[in-house]
Amino acid sequence: MKQIENIPDCGILLFKSCLVSVEYPGIESSTTYVFDKLGIDYLVSDEQSCCTGLGYYFDLFDQMSTTAVAARNFAIARKNGYNNITPMCSTCYAINKEACALLNSNDEVRSNINSVFKQAGLDDLIYEQNSLDEVDNFYHVVELFLSKAKQIGKLNTIDFSGVRVAAHHACHYYKIQSDDMIGNPNHPLLIDTIAKSCGADVVEWYEDKTLTCGAGFSQIHVNRDLSLKVTHAKLESLKEAGVELVLHMCPNCQIQYDRYQPVIEKEYGTKYDFVHMNIGQFVALALGADPEKVCGFQTHSVPLDGFLERIGVSF
């Protein structure tokens, strides 16, 4: 089981995410901003490809192709000596971890994929059993922040006291990989702890805290009404709890909340007074990052101007 004291701060491959890059590039610039401030030894590699998670959950890619792509990305991590694969997206986290477990435990899968590499003349991609460990080499960025929560609290420049914050932890982090999450999967508190270290007034439990965001990958497109019904229920609970800021750890959830909140307001004839941020954006902001150039808040659908003004940040 993962222990918070064993979370590494060196050899980190900050795993790029397609949804982060396309939808909220500020998450990545915020994360590297924080990593630099915290002195974390990390690498961002342009050789790395998408984890295929989106394609996988849309039923476009099968497990074998997904695992082969993962093996290719693992080879990049190994080649550069940055073996601790650390995504900003919970789907990248779960997909990579699962692929690694398969490559380590299933001889048939490993030899099939390695033979494809050999046939294509890509011998440098060949995966050797247990060259990565599915527990010890895979982290989510939020875990690194959690392990540095005290330091983050000390470096914090913003007075968050009285700001009601709630967290939405990502299903692919604490449900799919529940055995390897830090804490109690019935009561995830990673984001809450980080926000608390910055002095925020955290709502630790609210109705539907562990309910999904509703995105469900293809569901928002093929089952739009059901998908938005779930999101609506969750937004109502957050409203009931009197929250001002919702923190996320997965770009997919953030899209569902931030992009669709105005849609739900229109379709359900309601109004919500809270804004959304990724935990990386929150910590970067707390550590003094520029809200536009680093955090990229201008890319959000729910405008943050009012909120930032309330906490004394000019935007």
Partner 1 sequence: MNHSNDHVGVFICHCGGNISDIIDIRSVKQEIRSDNISTFDCEYLCSNVGQDLIKTSIYKHSLDKVIIGACTPAKHEKLFKKCVEDAQLNASMLEIANLREQCSWVHPNNLATTNKAISLLNGKIKRIQTALPLIPIQIPINPNAMVIGGGIAGINSALNLANNGIHTYLIEKEVTIGGNAAKIGKMFSPEKLAEECSMCSLSPLMNEVGSHPNITLLTYSEVENVNGSAGDFKVTIRKKPRYVKDNCMACGRCSKVCPTYVENDYNCGVKDKKAISMRFAQSVPQVYSIDPDHCIELTGGECGKCRDVCKVDAIDFEQKDEMIELDVGAIVVATGFDEYDASRKPQYGYGIFENVVTQMELARILGVNGPTLGKFARPSDNSMPHNIVMIQCVGSRDEGKSGNKYCSRYCCMAALKHASLIAKKYPDANVTICYIDIRAFGLYENYYRAVQDMGISFVRGRPAEVVQKANHNLVVKIEDTLTQELKEIPADMVVLSSAMEASSGTKQVANILNITLSEDGFVKEKHSKLKPVDTSRDGIFVCGTAQSPKDVTDTIAQSGLAAARTSAFISDKVIRRDPQIAQIERSLCNNCDECLKCPFEAISKDKIGNVDINPLVCNGCGYCTKLCSKGAISIAGYKEEQIMAEIDGVIEKGDVLAFLSREIPYATADNIGNSVAEYPANVKIVQVPTTTIITKAMIEHAFKRGSQAVLLVEEPTDNPVGSFIYPLALENFEQLKGELGKKGARLHFKKAYIPHYRGLAETFISLAQMEDIE
Nearer to partner 1, 130 or 184 (CB): 184
β-partners of residue 13 are 43, 85
Asked if 6 interacts with partner 1 (CB under 8 A), we say no
Does position 49 bind partner 1 by CB under 8 A?
A: no
- Alpha-carbon span 201 to 243, nearest angstrom: 10
Percentages (nearest 5) of helix, strand, coil residues in the chain: 50, 10, 40
Is 207 one of the binding residues for partner 1 (CB under 8 A)? yes
Q: Does 208 bind partner 1 (CB under 8 A)?
A: yes
When asked if residue 205 is in the footprint of partner 1 (CB under 8 A), the reply is yes
Q: What is the CA radius of gyration of the chain?
A: 19
Residue pair 302/262 in contact (Cβ under 8 Å)? The answer is yes
* Distant-in-sequence, close-in-space partners of 154: CB < 8 Å, separation ≥ 6: none
Q: Return the axis-axis angle of helices 90-105 and 63-80, rounded to nearest 10°.
A: 90
# of chain residues touching partner 1 (CB under 8 A): 13
Cβ–Cβ < 8 Å for 15, 291: no
Instruction: Compare residues 30 and 177 and give the one whose CB is closer to partner 1.
Output: 177
- 210 is a contact residue toward partner 1 (CB under 8 A): yes
Subset of residues 247 to 266 that bind partner 1, contact rule: CB under 8 A = none
242 touches partner 1 by CB under 8 A: no
Q: What number of other Cβ atoms are within 10 A of residue 266's Cβ?
A: 9
Is 111 a binding residue for partner 1 by CB under 8 A? The answer is no
Burial classification of residue 67, based on how many CB atoms lie within 10 Å of its CB (0-12 exposed, 13-18 middle, 19 or more buried)? buried
If the CB atoms of residues 1 and 120 are measured against partner 1, the closer one turns out to be 1
In the complex with partner 1, which residue's Cβ is closer, 133 or 207? 207
Give CA–CA dist 118/25, Å, rounded. Answer: 36
Minimum separation from the CB atom of position 237 to partner 1 (A): 8
Stretch near partner 1 under the rule CB under 8 A, chosen from 90-98, 202-210, 224-232, 271-279 = 202-210
Which residues inside 163-192 make contact with partner 1, applying CB under 8 A? 178-179, 184-187
Residue 32 in contact with partner 1, rule: CB under 8 A: no
Whichever of 238 and 302 has its CB closer to partner 1, that residue is: 238
Q: Are the beta carbons of 19 and 273 closer than 8 angstroms?
A: no
Q: Does 232 bind partner 1 (CB under 8 A)?
A: no
Residues at the interface with partner 1 (CB under 8 A): 1, 178-179, 184-187, 204-205, 207-210
